[in-house]
A and B are shown apart, each in its own frame.
Chain A
């Protein structure tokens, strides 16, 4: 046994691999192929789009859209990975977030019409907060009432969460009505930031920059939580082998509810951002985005956060490129991408072990 001082030194930084380990010990090697795929798509888009400035604009728009989709989908993939629950009603939280955005904006119209940036940001942050909290509350109720009784029964889950979505959508129609509601972009976030590219100009919508920043913050918080905290460790382990985590003494059922609620909150946040991005909401906004989300998490691998991010970016980029080059095939291009990815990796870009 080592002496007390050695032990103290070891404790300071935690046990390290023995110095005499010989050749460098390979750590977890990062699988970069899917990331390369994103860059590949961006590169492929360039000649198809034609002009560099347009390409830059579309790429930025695609990445922004991708970040919003990532925010929405990240909760769903974790919920499935950890709890083996597929929530077909995830769209409810999206719709809720989007509609709440309309209400907040309507109430705070004084702030949104002001030309000062900071005054414009306030309603946005209020919207995000309200959307997250209410979506979290609804999520909690959803889990309690609809999902909890059918853990482990996939067929019933699909049916019940679909039912929940129908009910949710109808209730939204009851509260907000069935006609589409437009959202006025706050003054200072309207318009674009341009810069010259050769003889053309590329334009980045200011709002999209904001959305991307929010997305990056969410990503950073998620990655930090998952990789550097014990809670994150529990979630990652639970995604792989729920039973073993319980056998190690952790009451993972409680964690489920927390993750479900967090996932719903994220969906609400994403929904609010999406509603503003689209400049308006429809009652079907939830189901529309739902399909996109499903494609994203299938591409990414059910349960993988990284996969979800890559999948979302790919879909965002693809939507913008095809929207410009060949709008009619937009939906099919998503499915085409999904089929291609599944042919390459049947479990998604980053399959989760033990599934």
Chain B
């Protein structure tokens, strides 16, 4: 197995009085897509937020490329974690509704002070993947449809090359046709060999994109392994997720 770029060891997270993560062990291999699956409330979003430093791990350690970024060994602030090359696409997409599509993307391009300074080739590539962005370039992002917002959110994470992407339930609430577009776009992302940690409840999406999979329940990782393995074993799917591939195809 390829070396892990991102690792969590025995991570506990408390939010106020609530103990959400009860010792998460996770290894995200470099250059591949890892799916993070599990029921509602299993702790998937909390895991992503803990990695990003939005919530501090109360125990355990989070390492990125060998260096500690969270937990007892040392907690970095969210901006510093992001600057290491980790992009985060939250569940609510984090779109700035009052800003235009153009401004949203400019904001995400840390190296550019103005739109002219942005990597034009990269932008063209993004326009190719997400035509809506070009069409609604000067439109306030809040007026886009749900699917378009999701595309913008992901495009934002891709506007500059990143070392890792953390994406939280991109397909939630989207129509099947849009989900197909999403899969196509993420497949292109896969080509760039970026490390991706993708939280999903849609097993179809998971199976289409994932190289590796980790399943969470009640704040711990209960299974991890190759996606192909899980895809073949319906019994395992039933046990872990309470459903089989057929249900989502």
Contact = CB atoms under 8 A, between A and B. Distances in A.
Interface of A: 1-2, 7, 10-18, 21, 25-28, 230, 233-234, 236-237, 240-241, 243-253, 352-354
Contacts of A245: 107
Contact of A26 (B82, B102, B123, B139): B139
Interface in B103-155: 103, 106-108, 110, 113-116, 118, 120-121, 123-125, 127-128, 131, 134-140, 142
A233 B106 contact: yes
Contacts of A246: 54, 77-79, 82
Contacts, number: 114
Nearest to B80: A251
A28 B77 CA distance: 34
Contact of B135 (A14, A25, A241): A25
A17 B134 contact: yes
A252 B79 contact: yes
B65 interface: no
A240 B96 CA distance: 7
B64 interface: no
A28 B79 CA distance: 30
B120 A240 contact: no
Contacts of B115: 14-15
B52 interface: yes
A15 B127 contact: yes
Closest 5 CB pairs of A and B: A249-B82, A244-B94, A353-B97, A14-B115, A246-B78
A153 to B, nearest CB: 14
Contacts of A28: 98, 100, 138-140
Interface string B18-37: 00000000000000000000
B49 to A, nearest CB: 9
Contact of A247 (B54, B127, B140): B54
A262 B135 CA distance: 37
A350 to B, nearest CB: 10
Given A240-B97, A354-B97, A15 B120 contact: yes
B38 interface: no
Interface of B: 52, 54, 77-80, 82-83, 88, 90, 94, 96-100, 102-103, 106-108, 110, 113-116, 118, 120-121, 123-125, 127-128, 131, 134-140, 142, 156
A299 B245 CA distance: 54
A241 B99 CA distance: 11
Given A15-B120, A247-B82, 13 more contacts: A1-B125, A14-B102, A14-B114, A15-B124, A15-B137, A28-B98, A236-B99, A237-B107, A243-B54, A243-B78, A244-B94, A247-B52, A247-B94
A25 B136 contact: yes
B188 to A, nearest CB: 13
A246 B121 CA distance: 26
A21 B139 CA distance: 13
A18 B134 contact: yes
B103 to A, nearest CB: 6
B183 to A, nearest CB: 22
A353 B116 contact: no
Contacts of A26: 139
A27 B139 CA distance: 5
Residue in A26, A237, A247, A253 with the greatest tally of chain B CB atoms within 10 Å: A247
6 contacts: A2-B124, A15-B123, A18-B131, A28-B140, A241-B94, A243-B94
Contacts of B139: 25-28
A243 B138 CA distance: 24
B106 A230 contact: yes
A1 B121 contact: yes
B220 to A, nearest CB: 25
Nearest to A12: B116
B137 A250 contact: no
